Amino acid sequence: MSIEAKRSCKQLPWYFGAGFLMAWMALFYAIVIPLSNSLPNGLKVAEEIEKPGEFVAERAEILLLEIDRMGPRVAGDVANEVVIYDFLLNEIEKIRSEMVTDLFELEVDVQHVSGSYMRDQLMNVYRGVQNVIVKLSAKNSNSTSYLLLNSHTDTKPGAWGAGDDAFMVVVMLEVLRQMSISEKTFLHPIVFLFNGAEEQSLLAAHGFITQHKWATSCKTVINLEGSSGGRELLFQSGPNHPWLMRHYRNSVKHPFATTLAEEIFQAGLIPSDTDFRIFRDYGPVPGLDMATVKNGFVYHTKFDRWALISQDSLQNSGDNILALTRSISNAEEMYDIEAYSEGHSVFFDFLGLFFIYYYESTGVALNMSFSLGGILVVCVSLWRMSRVSCENVSTLACEFGIFLLLAVFGFLLAFGFPLLMSVLYDAGDRTMTYFSNSWLLIGIFICPSLIGLVLPTTLYLTLRTKVCEL
């Protein structure tokens, strides 16, 4: 080999690799993180005159503080059955007093329901579960297809529940208010369900969808959940109603969604569930399941308080849910949703800038096309390398196979090492360590994952070089 060839094959110094990694990290923190944390400015009550028809975050925040002061609201206790019940009826009457009565009708019903159902091979029996239900309809509408919005008023024992789920309760109240004072009517009545027993095995949702007089007319649901502020994630859809994705794409101002979250949630990897399951299985009512996902460390604890939720977060969710409610309540598909049951959809947003969705069948075709295209590129590359290097194609293919196996093994280690760290922290009674400072995630999980990713290839190349030198 000539001196020029040897120089061209000389490896770059190690710090080029470190610089490459640092450049990607810089892009991540300069672009991805700011866009991920980007929220619209909360609209003040004083600004409502200048921006009619928009969600007012300050009013929702005031209501959220009132609910927060009630403390834990466990199904069956006074706070959940009396205090927040009176609060909701009072706020609903305030909305009625502001409503454009020439255009809209507002009906309120309080449901006390008993029943039972099987869930996960366990019989759930309930008695006297309470729901506060509001139906808003346009006087010029004759539709018998209703849009259902759902959130829950109860909390886990000891949890204050500002994020789970008072956040969505006040968002629904403000959406109800904006829809009722608007000069724009809508085709389909909207049912607002403030259910009183979600944390107790989803009981109130079951009582509503199986026994309430309006339940059979509810054709689509927007289920609203939360942890404690931030952006709300669309993590379940349908099933088999991609037209909902079209309305989400066309109406939502701040998209945040991923099919990956749906796959993880429905695989049971997250030890939680939502009312969406009840509506889907016992209605059956298709829809969208959305939840705020920030500050997960306070989820179902006494630290889930009003102070952790910003006006900007309320504005983000309020903008999206109000726009989505307006869009679906005017959807022609609502007249006969079964006619639009066309298969599951794949969906995701791009850095919150825009939303993409396509049919599952399209996703299968794309995956197969890219896979075949990738195999073709590999074959052509191996052939070209053999022509340039004068090496046998089979030798190069064998080398490629080795590196492919190393990459797969590294991928498995990239998952395995963080899991091992989790087991070690659990064993040392330090399970929640990384919640004290978010930057600890880098050392506890990200670094072990990166080490696992590069370890097999690094060891192979190092050992092979030593063997060659011998």
Whole-number pLDDT of residue 104: 96
Whole-number pLDDT of residue 10: 62
- The share of the chain scoring above pLDDT 90, in percent, equals 67
What span, in angstroms and rounded, lies between the C-alpha atoms of 395 and 136? 72
Model confidence pLDDT, tens digit, residues 185-237: 999 999 999 999 999 899 999 999 999 999 999 999 999 998 888 899 999 99
Q: How confident is the model at residue 15 (pLDDT cuts 50, 70, 90)?
A: confident
Model confidence pLDDT, tens digit, residues 79-99: 999 999 999 999 999 999 999
Residues constituting the chain:
470
DSSP secondary structure, 48-112, as one string: TTTSTTS--HHHHHHHHHHHHTT----TTSHIIIIIHHHHHHHHHHHHHHHS-TTTEEEEEEEEE
What span, in angstroms and rounded, lies between the C-alpha atoms of 201 and 270? 16
C-alpha pair distances (Å), 292 with each of 228, 231, 463: 7, 5, 48
Model confidence pLDDT, tens digit, residues 354-408: 999 999 889 999 999 999 999 999 999 888 888 888 788 888 889 889 999 999 9
Q: What's the whole-number mean pLDDT along residues 173-183?
A: 97
Model confidence at 13: pLDDT above 80: no
Q: How confident is the model at residue 467 (pLDDT cuts 50, 70, 90)?
A: low
Active site residue ranges: 198
Model confidence pLDDT, tens digit, residues 17-35: 778 888 888 988 898 889 8
More confident residue, 355 or 342: 355
Name 133's bridge partners: 109, 193
Whole-number pLDDT of residue 36: 85
Model confidence at 465: pLDDT above 60: yes
Whole-number pLDDT of residue 11: 66
Whole-number pLDDT of residue 324: 97
Whole-number pLDDT of residue 1: 46
Whole-number pLDDT of residue 444: 87
Q: What's the whole-number mean pLDDT along residues 302-318?
A: 94
What span, in angstroms and rounded, lies between the C-alpha atoms of 174 and 181? 11
Model confidence pLDDT, tens digit, residues 101-139: 999 999 999 999 999 998 878 899 999 999 999 999 999
Q: How confident is the model at residue 271 (pLDDT cuts 50, 70, 90)?
A: confident
Model confidence pLDDT, tens digit, residues 438-463: 778 888 888 999 999 999 998 888 88
Q: Which helix (H) or strand (E) holds 148?
A: strand 146-152
pTM of the model: 0.88
CB contact set of 14 (below 8 Å; sequence gap of 6+) = none
- The share of the chain scoring above pLDDT 70, in percent, equals 96
Return the SS3 of 340.
Answer: helix
Whole-number pLDDT of residue 5: 47
Whole-number pLDDT of residue 67: 97
What span, in angstroms and rounded, lies between the C-alpha atoms of 419 and 425? 10
Whole-number pLDDT of residue 258: 93
For residue 124, give the DSSP letter: E
Whole-number pLDDT of residue 392: 85
Q: How confident is the model at residue 241 (pLDDT cuts 50, 70, 90)?
A: very high
Whole-number pLDDT of residue 214: 97
Whole-number pLDDT of residue 175: 98
Model confidence pLDDT, tens digit, residues 33-87: 898 889 999 999 999 999 999 999 999 999 999 999 999 999 999 999 999 999 9
Q: What's the whole-number mean pLDDT along residues 318-343?
A: 94
Whole-number pLDDT of residue 469: 60
Q: Mind listing the domains of the chain with CATH numbers?
A: 45-360 (3.40.630.10), 391-469 (no CATH)
